[in-house]
Chain A
Amino acid sequence: ATTLKISHQFPGGTIDKGDFRDRLCRMFAEEVSKRSGGEIAAEIYPNSSLIKTVAQFSAMRKGALDISLYPMPYAGGEVPETNIGLMPGLVTTYDQGLRWKNEPVGKALSDFLADKGIILLTWVWQAGGVASRSRPLVTPDDAKGMKVRGGSREMDMVLQTAGASVLSVPSNEIYTAMQTGACDAGLTSSTSLISFRLEEVAKALTSGAKASYWFMLEPLMMSKATFDKLPKNQQDVLLAVGAELEAFGRKGAQDDDIEVAKVYEKAGAKVAELDLETVNKWRDIARDTAWKDYGGKSANCAKLLKLASDVAA
């Protein structure tokens, strides 16, 4: 039997309780083992307890790690093309994001990643929102004069153009930085907005439940080196189970979008929802800044960006 190591950076739990990304990995492990008749087993390593967060990507490429549920843009330093997985305004709804897989952009991205040694098993998109300690940050106009933690190069560009002063804070320090006021607002996924406990220090939340300019591709990925070593029937099991879990991934992410609003409301924060009109305002800024920057990086980037912007909202 083969034992696969699955690593991720999120809090660990059980198969029916906890962070949905951890649960997705556990369901994957269980289902794969069942369908392969025990031929494939998998061990889960949450919390980056196996490999450091960012390094997971390169470890998979080298074959030192088998599988990871990995925020794709984290690999942006190593493979700039992966930044397409968090391009502000490029994906605005779950429907649009999940449509990628069967459109030309999905094929192009999969081929590109396969070339880099990575296989996509489960497409997971996650919407994000903003937690702020004083006034809400909803429209680009709100950003003026705020100290905001964007969390990625592209988001920072957009925020800066909107008039915010961007701030780099490591994720484990956002809480203290917001508590003390060094940082006015932070952007991240709904799940992280909950797990970082920012509701304790935030007075306002902008939720991306209906639409958002912040969508991150966070797929279950596999090392191609490991994948290629497996017999065909096992490969098929992995791909099939991976694809089937996409529905669970979507539901998990959307449940968290709803949950985050509840949590912040309960903590006394004002909750605002993004709508498509506001999202388009952000998108307009992004097109001239982040998109342009990304498209200029390489021919591959330009091609992926073109194909992705062809996917209807």
Chain B
Amino acid sequence: MHAPVSDSEATPTGASGPLAPLQRVISMLNSIIVVLAAIALIAACVILSYSVAGRALFKAANYWQDEAAVFLLVGATFMTAAYVQEHRGHVSIEAFVGLMSPLANKIRLWLVDVASFLFCAFFTWKSWTLTHEAWEDGQVSNSMWSPPLAIPYALMAAGMTLLCLQLLLQIVAPLTGARR
């Protein structure tokens, strides 16, 4: 499996060398997003608990809480995808590491990154078209609260875009002489 994901916030594995400034920007962006996502997670907990309390104490209706929690959690999930990739936290199976020479391994990992990038790029593209459609048609979630669907779609699309950028940096890094 991939490099350890430890607590100590070690070694982000992005670009260094000429692309270092760009990686720094993305890393900074990722750190900000992580804070926001953490807040979103706690907010989701608070909202769900509030819905329990509101019903028990004031017989309040619960018609937006579940959905709001879903939006927060979907947003937190997709927006932090790049952060997880920065730390190589998307698990994979590393069965052949021992069977190949270091150079062959390097090439393999590079190709893996390229393949991942291609898939994510496709997904990103389709997320934006979905967002665009939802925005144009004014699609809303079919509930009493009826928030626009373009919001969670846009979060998904933005998160995937960041993930693509991160992957791209990790692809370019070895070409510019940086260590993976």
Given contacts A77-B149, A78-B137, A160-B61, contact A165 B55 (CB under 8 A): yes
Q: What chain A residues lie within 8 Å of B63 (beta carbons)?
A: 156, 166, 168
> Which residues of A from 115 to 171 have beta carbons under 8 Å from B?
145, 147, 152-153, 156-157, 160, 165-168, 170
Q: What chain B residues lie within 8 Å of A165 (beta carbons)?
A: 55, 59-62
Q: What chain A residues lie within 8 Å of B149 (beta carbons)?
A: 77
Which of A76, A80, A152, A167 is B62 in contact with, Cβ under 8 Å? A167
Given contacts A78-B137, A78-B139, A147-B55, contact A166 B62 (CB under 8 A): yes
- Asked whether A74 is an interface residue with its Cβ less than 8 Å from the other chain, the reply is yes
Contact A168 B142 (CB under 8 A): no
Contact B140 A77 (CB under 8 A): yes
Which of B59, B67, B144 is A156 in contact with, Cβ under 8 Å? B144
Given contacts A74-B142, A77-B141, A78-B137, contact A168 B62 (CB under 8 A): yes
Report the separation of the CA atoms of residues A152 and B61 in the bound assembly, to the nearest whole angstrom. Answer: 14
Given contacts A77-B149, A168-B62, contact A153 B142 (CB under 8 A): yes
Given contacts A78-B139, A153-B144, contact A167 B59 (CB under 8 A): no
Number of residues on chain B facing chain A (CB within 8 A): 18
Given contacts A77-B149, A78-B139, A147-B55, contact A167 B144 (CB under 8 A): no
Q: A182 to nearest B CB, angstroms? A: 8
> Which residues of B from 58 to 93 have beta carbons under 8 Å from A?
59-63, 65-67
Report the separation of the CA atoms of residues A152 and B143 in the bound assembly, to the nearest whole angstrom. Answer: 6
Report the separation of the CA atoms of residues A288 and B145 in the bound assembly, to the nearest whole angstrom. Answer: 18
> Which residues of A from 247 to 288 have beta carbons under 8 Å from B?
none
Contact A152 B142 (CB under 8 A): yes
- Asked whether B146 is an interface residue with its Cβ less than 8 Å from the other chain, the reply is yes
B148 closest partner in A (C-beta): A77
Q: B148 to nearest A CB, angstroms? A: 9
Report the separation of the CA atoms of residues A83 and B144 in the bound assembly, to the nearest whole angstrom. Answer: 12
Q: What chain B residues lie within 8 Å of A152 (beta carbons)?
A: 142
Q: B163 to nearest A CB, angstroms? A: 23
Q: What chain B residues lie within 8 Å of A219 (beta carbons)?
A: none
Contact B62 A153 (CB under 8 A): no
Report the separation of the CA atoms of residues A147 and B52 in the bound assembly, to the nearest whole angstrom. Answer: 12
- Asked whether A73 is an interface residue with its Cβ less than 8 Å from the other chain, the reply is yes
Report the separation of the CA atoms of residues A145 and B55 in the bound assembly, to the nearest whole angstrom. Answer: 11
Contact B139 A157 (CB under 8 A): no
Report the separation of the CA atoms of residues A145 and B62 in the bound assembly, to the nearest whole angstrom. Answer: 14
Contact A153 B146 (CB under 8 A): yes
* Given A77-B142, A168-B143, 6 new contacts (CB under 8 A): A77-B146, A147-B55, A152-B142, A157-B144, A160-B144, A167-B62
Interface residues of A (CB under 8 A from B): 54, 73-80, 83, 145, 147, 152-153, 156-157, 160, 165-168, 170
User: What are 22 pairs between A and B in contact, CB < 8 Å?
Assistant: A54-B142, A73-B142, A77-B142, A77-B146, A79-B137, A80-B140, A145-B59, A147-B59, A152-B142, A153-B143, A153-B144, A156-B61, A157-B144, A160-B144, A165-B60, A166-B144, A167-B55, A167-B61, A168-B62, A168-B65, A168-B66, A168-B143
